C-alpha cells in the first residue's frame, strides 16, 4: 500500500497490527528521517533499546545475507516487539521484501529507509506490490505542506500563532522538513511560557527572512562564488547538517534550475521560469536566479547533477572523509559557474 507521510499517524493501528514492514524513501531526507522515526516508535517506543532495535546497512547485509532473517526471527531478550531498521537501502535490498518477509516467524517489523527511488526501482516495485508492506514517498514540502507542518508542530507543543506570524513563518521556513523543525524548536525554546506567537517573536528568532543557510549555499554555488560557497558549507556543518544532506539539497536546487531551463526552451518567459526555482517570499533572490539561468547551459546542469549523485554515492562507499569530498565537489561546481559568467 502507498501512503503519504502525513497519513502515518492516522494509520497507526494498521501499522501496529496489519503491516509487517515499511519502505520510507525520497529526496527530502528530513521528511524521510522524521517519518521513519514516527513509524519506528509505533513498533518500539525506545529506539535506544539495542535488544529491540537492530540497525543494518546494505554493506552489512552483503557480508551476511541471512542477517536480516536471523535478526527478525530472534526473540528480544527483554521482551517487546523487534524492529529491524535498514538504512540507506538500495535495489540490492529488494530481496528482503520479496523473499525474507515471508520467512519471518515472529512479529518483527522491517523498516527500510532509502534515498530517492525511481519508479522502476526493484526495491520500490517490490514494496508497492506487497500487501503487507507500507510504501511512503517523501518529497520536498510545497506551500500547503509547510503550513501543515508548522501548524501541527506548534499545536502539539501547545503554542498558537497569529495569522500574520504564520505568514512570516511560511515565508521564512524551507521545504526541508528537518530544517523547519529545527527552526521551530528554536522558536519554542525562546517563547518559554508565552504560548501566543506574534510577528516580533518570529523576527527575533528566525532571522533569515529571504534566505536560509541552504539558500545561501545554493546561491553561492550557482552564482560562481567559490569562497562564499565554502564558507556556507562550513556553517552548515557547524550547525549540525551532514555532508550527504547538503549534497541532496544541491541536487534539489539544480533539478529546479533544469526545470526552469527546459521551460525557457519552450519559450516560457524568464520571469515566470524563475518562479519554478524559488519559494514563496524569496523575491529578493529573483535577480540571482535570472543570472544563473543565463549562465548555466542545460548540458552543464545535467553534468552537475551526475557529479552530485556520484559524490553522494562515494560518501557511502569510500573511506575518504565525506566533508572533504563534498567540499571539493562544491568548489568544482562553483568554479564552473564562475567560468560561465566570464563567457557571457
CATH number of the domain enclosing 12 = 3.40.50.300
For residue 332, give the C-alpha cell.
568544482
Contact in structure between 244 and 29 (CB atoms under 8 Å): yes
CATH number of the domain enclosing 173 = 1.10.8
CA quadruple 272, 278, 284, 288: dihedral positive or negative?
negative
Distance (Å, whole) CA 219 – CA 211? 9
Same domain? 235 vs 321: yes
Distance (Å, whole) CA 114 – CA 316? 13
The confidence score (pLDDT) of residue 174 equals: 65
Same domain? 173 vs 241: no
- Helix axis angle, 286-295 relative to 213-223, nearest 10°? 30
Provide the domain count of the chain.
3
Same domain? 46 vs 161: no
Contact in structure between 307 and 331 (CB atoms under 8 Å): no
From 77, 107, 137, the end of a domain falls on 137
Q: Please state the φ and ψ torsions of residue 198, each to the nearest 5 degrees.
A: -115, 175
Same domain? 6 vs 126: yes
Same domain? 231 vs 321: yes
The confidence score (pLDDT) of residue 77 equals: 66
Same domain? 230 vs 328: yes
Distance (Å, whole) CA 67 – CA 81? 18
Same domain? 253 vs 274: yes
Cα-based torsion angle of the residue sequence 142, 143, 144, 148 in order, rounded to the nearest 10 degrees = 100
Local confidence pLDDT in tens for the 344 residues of the chain: 888 887 888 899 999 999 999 999 987 777 788 899 999 999 998 888 888 999 999 989 999 989 999 999 998 766 678 999 999 899 999 999 999 999 999 999 999 999 888 889 999 999 999 999 999 998 766 666 778 888 888 998 999 999 888 988 887 776 666 677 888 988 999 999 999 999 888 887 875 434 457 888 999 999 999 999 999 899 888 777 789 889 988 998 999 999 999 999 999 999 999 988 887 667 788 999 999 999 999 999 999 999 999 998 888 887 789 999 999 999 999 999 998 888 76
Same domain? 107 vs 151: no
The confidence score (pLDDT) of residue 152 equals: 86
The confidence score (pLDDT) of residue 181 equals: 80
For residue 1, give the C-alpha cell.
500500500
What is the C-alpha R_g of the chain? 22
Q: What's the DSSP call for residue 141?
A: -
Same domain? 337 vs 220: yes
The confidence score (pLDDT) of residue 320 equals: 85
Same domain? 87 vs 105: yes
Distance (Å, whole) CA 9 – CA 159? 20
From 137, 168, 194, the end of a domain falls on 137
From 205, 234, 257, the end of a domain falls on 205
Contact in structure between 197 and 174 (CB atoms under 8 Å): no
CATH number of the domain enclosing 254 = 1.20.272.10
Domain that holds residue 179: 143-205
Same domain? 69 vs 171: no
Same domain? 122 vs 178: no
- Helix axis angle, 298-317 relative to 322-343, nearest 10°? 170
Distance (Å, whole) CA 292 – CA 223? 6
* pTM for this model (two decimals): 0.55
Distance (Å, whole) CA 67 – CA 90? 16
Amino acid at each position: 500500500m502507498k501512503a503519504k507521510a502525513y497519513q502515518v499517524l492516522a494509520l497507526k493501528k494498521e501499522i501496529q497490527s496489519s503491516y509487517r514492514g515499511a519502505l520510507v524513501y525520497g529526496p527530502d531526507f528530513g521528511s524521510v528521517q522524521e517519518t521513519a522515526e514516527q513509524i519506528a516508535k509505533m513498533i518500539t517506543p525506545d529506539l535506544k533499546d539495542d535488544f529491540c532495535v537492530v540497525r543494518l546497512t546494505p554493506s552489512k547485509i552483503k557480508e551476511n545475507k541471512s542477517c536480516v532473517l536471523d535478526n527478525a526471527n530472534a526473540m528480544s531478550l527483554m521482551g517487546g516487539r523487534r524492529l529491524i531498521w535498514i538504512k540507506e537501502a538500495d535495489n540490492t535490498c529488494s530481496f528482503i521484501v520479496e523473499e525474507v518477509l515471508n520467512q519471518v516467524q515472529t512479529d518483527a517489523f522491517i523498516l527500510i529507509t532509502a534515498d530517492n527511488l525511481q519508479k522502476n526501482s526493484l526495491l520500490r516495485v517490490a514494496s508497492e506490490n506487497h500487501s503487507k508492506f507500507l510504501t511512503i514517498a517523501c518529497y520536498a514540502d510545497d506551500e500547503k505542506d509547510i503550513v501543515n507542518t508548522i501548524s501541527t508542530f506548534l499545536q502539539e507543543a501547545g503554542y498558537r500563532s497569529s495569522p500574520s506570524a504564520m505568514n512570516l513563518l511560511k515565508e521564512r521556513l524551507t521545504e526541508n522538513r528537518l530544517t523547519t523543525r529545527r527552526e521551530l524548536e528554536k522558536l519554542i525554546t525562546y517563547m518559554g511560557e508565552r504560548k501566543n506567537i506574534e510577528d516580533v517573536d518570529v523576527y527575533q528568532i528566525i532571522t533569515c527572512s529571504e534566505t536560509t543557510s541552504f539558500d545561501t549555499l545554493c546561491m553561492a554555488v550557482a552564482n560562481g562564488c567559490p569562497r562564499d560557497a565554502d564558507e556556507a558549507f562550513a556553517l552548515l556543518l557547524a550547525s549540525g547538517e551532514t555532508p550527504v544532506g547538503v549534497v541532496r539539497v544541491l541536487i534539489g536546487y539544480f533539478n529546479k534550475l533544469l526545470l526552469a531551463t527546459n521551460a525557457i526552451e519552450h519559450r516560457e518567459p524568464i520571469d515566470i521560469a524563475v518562479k519554478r526555482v524559488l519559494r514563496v517570499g524569496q523575491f529578493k533572490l529573483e535577480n540571482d536566479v535570472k543570472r544563473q539561468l543565463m549562465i548555466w547551459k542545460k548540458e552543464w546542469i545535467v553534468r552537475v547533477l551526475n557529479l552530485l549523485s556520484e559524490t553522494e554515492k562515494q560518501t557511502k562507499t569510500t573511506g575518504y572523509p565525506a566533508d572533504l569530498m563534498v567540499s571539493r565537489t562544491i568548489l568544482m561546481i562553483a568554479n564552473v559557474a564562475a567560468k560561465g559568467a566570464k563567457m557571457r
